[in-house]
Amino acid sequence: MTITNQLGQDVGVHPNPDKLPGGAQIQQILDGLGGWALYAALGGLLVSVIVWALGSFGGNYHAVSRGKTGVLVCSAAAIVAGGAAPIINFFSNLGSQIR
Phi and psi dihedrals of 15, rounded to 5? -60, 130
Query: How does pLDDT run across 26-48, given as a tens digit for each residue?
Result: 999 999 999 999 999 999 999 99
The DSSP code sequence of 26-41 is HHHHHHHHHHHHHHHH
The end-to-end CA distance of the chain, in Å, is 18
Percent of the chain with pLDDT over 70: 92
Reported pTM: 0.76
